C-alpha cells in the first residue's frame, strides 16, 4: 500500500521545497522504507528541454532519457532511487495527453473539462509514479494561489479524500524577519494556509523557513491559527549547507511525525552516519583547489546545479574544498587568459549555441599547453576536439556545424551531416520538434584498455546519460588519432566517439555525456574525483599552500 506525502509551498517561491522533500525522503529511506519522489510542474511547456537556463536553470536528464526539472537531481542525490519520465509531470504533458485522448475518441463524446478529465490525468500520473513503493513524495511546483497550479491542487485534494489516512499534506512557508520591527512575522504563513484551506486542503505539517530561530510563542501562534498541531509546526532555519537539512529535520522529529500520521509502525531508527560524515568533511576540509568553470550562463549558477554538486561530492571524496571560479567565456575572448593563471584545473561544461565558443576554445588550449587538468563535458568535449584539430592537426578552420555551417573542416556535426555511404556531407533535413534530434538518456560506453578513462573508472564498460545533438565526425578519426588524440571511449557498437584524452598530459579528459547526473554526496563520481585529485596534484606541484 502506497502512502502519499504532498508537498506544497506558500508566500514566495524558491523556498526549497525540493530539498526539503528530498531530505524527508532520505530520512524515511534510512528508516527502511522504499521511497520515490515526483515533481508536478504547472507550466505549459511539455518539459523544460526547450526552456532557457536563465528562465528555468538546469535541465536534469533521467536514465530513460526524459528532460526534467532540476529538483529531480536533488531527489536522486538525496535518496537511493533512479528517477524516470514518470517522476516529472508538467501541465503541458497533462493537457497534451488529455487532448490526444479526446481526439482519439477515448472520452466517448463527453465534454472534456478540467474536472474530472485533467484532474484524473494528474492522479493517474501520480499513482503510476508511486506504484511499487512504500512512500511517494509528491512536490507541487509554484506557490499556493497561482492560477496555473489550481488543477494540481484540486487533484491532490481529491487524492487526500480518496486515500484517507494514507495521505499527508506538508506545506513549506516563510516566516520573514522585519529588521525595523525586530520581529519574525507569522501573518504571511497564516494567510498562506488560509489560501490552502480555501481550496480544501488542510496541512498536516508546516515547515516554516526563517533566517532566525522561531520562538515557541510564535510556533504556538502559527499552530493556533492554522489548525496544525504544535509539534508539527517545524522551524527550518537557514543553513549554510543543504546536506545538513536531513540532520536538522530529523532533530525536529519530522520523520516520526510523518510515520505516526501515516500509521507506519515498528520502523527502525534512522541511520544518518553517512550524512554526518559528508557534512563533517565539508566543514573541515584538509586542502583546497580552485577550479575554473568556463561557461556562458555564469549569471545563473543554477544552470550548472548538478555540476556544482558533483564537484562538491568530489571534494568530499578527496577531503578537500573545491572553490569554483565562474569564468565568462565571452570575457576570455576579449580579456585573455589572466583569470586562468592561478587556477588548479579547468572545466568546460555543456551548453548550446555559438555564444562564447571561442573563449571556451581558448580555455581548452590554455589547459593543454600549460599541463593544467582539464575536464570537458558534452560541449566541453566538442570544444577540446575543435581546439586539437586547429592547433595540433593543422586544420585551422576546424569547427562544429552548430557554430559554422559552412566550415571546411566539420570535426563536429550532426550524424545526418556526415554518416552516409559515399562519405559526402549531407544537409540537415529533419522534420521534428525542437530537441527531437537529441541523444538522450543512459547509454553504454566501452573504454579503451590502458587509457586514463579506463584507469579512472576502473571498469571496461560504463553507462552514462546524454543530452546533445552533435557528435565527433568519424571522417576525421584517423587524421586526429595520427596527430595524437586518443579516442578512449566509444559507443557499444563503436560508431560514436564518447571520450577523448591526450596521452602526454597530466590529466586531460573529455566526454560527450553528463557524468554529473549520477554523482552522489556519499559516493562521488569517479570522473570528478579523478579530476579534483589531479587538481590537488597540480596545486602541490606548483608549490601552492594547503589549508
Q: Which residues have a catalytic role annotated?
A: 378, 514, 516
Contact 173, 16 (CB under 8 A): no
Q: How far apart are the C-alpha atoms of 356 and 348, rounded to whole Å?
A: 11
Let me know how many helices (H) and strands (E) the chain has, helices first: 19, 23
The radius of gyration of the chain from alpha carbons, rounded to an integer in Å, stands at 25
Is 66 strand, coil or helix?
Answer: coil
* Cell numbers placing 372: 593544467
Place of cell 501573518: 187
Closest CA to 498 of 542, 541, 457: 457
Q: How far apart are the C-alpha atoms of 350 and 467, rounded to whole Å?
A: 9
> Which are the contacts of 460, defined by CB distance < 8 A and separation ≥ 6?
446, 447, 449, 454
Cβ-based neighbour number of residue 216 at 10 Å: 10
Closest CA to 50 of 512, 453, 432, 472: 432
Q: How far apart are the C-alpha atoms of 509 and 515, rounded to whole Å?
A: 12
Phi, psi angle pair for 354, to nearest 5°: -90, -10
> Which are the contacts of 450, defined by CB distance < 8 A and separation ≥ 6?
none
Half-sphere CA count of 207, side-chain side, radius 13 A? 32
Residue 6 is inside which H or E element, if any?
strand 3-9
End-to-end C-alpha distance for the chain, whole angstroms: 51
Residue 441 is inside which H or E element, if any?
strand 439-447
SS (H, E, C) 135-148: EEEEEECCCCCCHH
CB neighbour burial string for 115-135, b if at least 16 within 10 angstroms, e if fewer: eebbbebbbebbeebbeebbb
> Which are the contacts of 93, defined by CB distance < 8 A and separation ≥ 6?
46, 47, 125
Provide the phi-psi class of 472: left if phi over 0, else alpha when psi is between -120 and 50, else beta.
beta
* Cell numbers placing 367: 589547459
Contact 471, 415 (CB under 8 A): yes
In total, the chain counts a number of residues equal to: 547
Q: How far apart are the C-alpha atoms of 138 and 507, rounded to whole Å?
A: 42
Closest CA to 143 of 50, 54, 16: 16
Q: What is the dihedral of CA 398, 403, 405, 410, to 10 degrees?
A: 30
Phi, psi angle pair for 468, to nearest 5°: -165, 165
CB neighbour burial string for 63-93, b if at least 16 within 10 angstroms, e if fewer: bebbbbbbbbbbbbbbbebebbbbbbbbbbb
Amino acid at each position: 500500500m502506497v502512502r502519499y506525502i504532498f508537498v506544497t509551498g506558500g508566500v514566495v517561491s524558491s523556498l526549497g521545497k525540493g530539498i526539503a522533500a528530498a531530505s524527508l525522503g532520505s530520512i524515511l529511506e534510512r528508516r527502511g522504507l522504499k521511497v520515490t519522489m515526483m515533481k508536478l510542474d504547472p507550466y505549459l511547456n511539455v518539459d523544460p528541454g526547450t526552456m532557457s537556463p536563465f528562465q528555468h536553470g538546469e535541465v536534469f536528464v533521467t536514465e530513460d532519457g526524459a528532460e526534467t526539472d532540476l529538483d529531480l537531481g536533488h531527489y536522486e542525490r538525496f535518496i537511493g532511487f533512479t528517477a524516470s519520465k514518470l517522476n516529472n509531470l508538467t501541465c503541458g504533458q497533462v493537457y497534451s495527453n488529455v487532448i490526444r485522448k479526446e481526439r482519439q475518441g477515448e472520452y466517448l463524446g463527453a465534454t472534456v473539462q478540467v474536472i474530472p478529465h485533467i484532474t484524473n490525468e494528474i492522479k493517474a500520473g501520480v499513482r503510476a509514479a508511486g506504484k511499487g513503493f512504500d512512500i511517494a513524495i509528491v512536490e507541487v511546483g509554484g506557490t499556493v494561489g497561482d492560477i496555473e497550479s489550481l488543477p494540481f491542487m484540486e487533484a491532490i485534494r481529491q487524492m487526500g479524500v480518496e486515500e484517507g489516512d494514507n495521505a499527508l499534506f506538508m506545506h513549506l512557508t516563510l516566516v520573514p524577519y522585519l529588521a525595523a520591527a525586530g520581529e519574525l512575522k507569522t501573518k504571511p504563513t497564516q494567510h498562506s494556509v488560509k489560501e490552502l484551506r480555501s481550496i480544501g486542503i488542510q496541512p498536516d505539517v508546516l515547515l516554516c523557513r526563517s533566517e532566525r530561530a522561531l520562538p515557541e510563542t510564535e510556533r504556538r501562534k502559527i499552530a493556533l491559527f492554522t489548525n496544525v498541531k504544535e509539534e508539527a509546526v517545524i522551524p527550518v532555519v537557514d543553513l549554510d549547507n543543504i546536506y545538513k537539512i536531513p540532520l536538522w529535520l530529523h532533530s525536529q522529529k519530522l520523520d516520526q511525525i510523518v510515520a505516526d500520521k501515516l500509521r507506519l509502525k515498528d520502523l527502525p531508527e534512522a541511520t544518518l552516519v553517512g550524512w554526518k560524515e559528508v557534512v563533517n568533511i565539508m566543514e573541515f576540509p584538509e586542502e583546497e583547489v580552485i577550479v575554473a568553470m568556463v561557461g556562458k550562463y555564469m549569471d545563473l549558477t543554477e544552470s550548472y546545479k548538478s555540476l556544482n554538486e558533483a564537484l562538491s561530492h568530489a571534494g568530499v571524496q578527496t577531503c578537500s574544498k573545491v572553490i569554483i571560479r565562474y569564468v565568462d567565456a565571452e570575457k576570455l575572448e576579449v580579456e585573455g587568459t589572466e583569470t586562468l593563471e592561478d587556477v588548479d584545473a579547468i572545466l568546460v561544461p555543456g551548453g548550446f549555441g555559438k555564444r562564447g565558443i571561442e573563449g571556451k576554445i581558448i580555455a581548452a588550449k590554455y589547459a593543454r599547453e600549460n599541463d593544467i587538468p582539464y575536464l570537458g563535458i558534452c560541449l566541453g568535449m566538442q570544444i577540446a576536439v575543435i581546439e586539437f584539430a586547429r592547433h595540433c592537426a593543422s586544420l585551422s578552420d576546424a569547427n562544429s556545424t552548430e557554430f559554422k555551417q559552412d566550415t571546411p573542416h566539420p570535426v563536429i556535426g550532426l550524424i545526418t551531416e556526415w554518416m552516409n555511404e559515399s562519405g559526402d556531407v549531407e544537409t540537415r533535413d529533419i522534420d521534428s520538434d525542437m530537441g527531437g534530434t537529441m541523444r538522450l538518456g543512459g547509454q553504454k560506453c566501452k573504454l579503451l584498455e590502458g587509457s586514463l578513462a579506463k584507469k579512472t573508472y576502473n571498469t571496461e564498460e560504463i553507462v552514462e546519460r546524454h543530452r546533445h545533438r552533435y557528435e565527433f565526425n568519424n571522417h576525421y578519426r584517423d587524421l586526429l588519432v595520427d596527430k595524437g588524440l586518443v579516442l578512449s571511449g566509444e559507443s557499444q557498437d563503436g560508431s560514436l566517439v564518447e571520450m577523448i584524452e591526450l596521452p602526454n598530459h597530466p590529466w586531460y579528459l573529455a566526454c560527450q555525456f553528463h557524468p554529473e547526473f549520477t554523482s552522489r554526496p556519499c559516493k562521488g563520481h569517479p570522473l570528478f574525483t579523478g579530476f579534483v585529485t589531479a587538481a590537488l596534484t597540480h596545486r602541490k606541484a606548483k608549490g601552492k599552500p594547503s589549508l
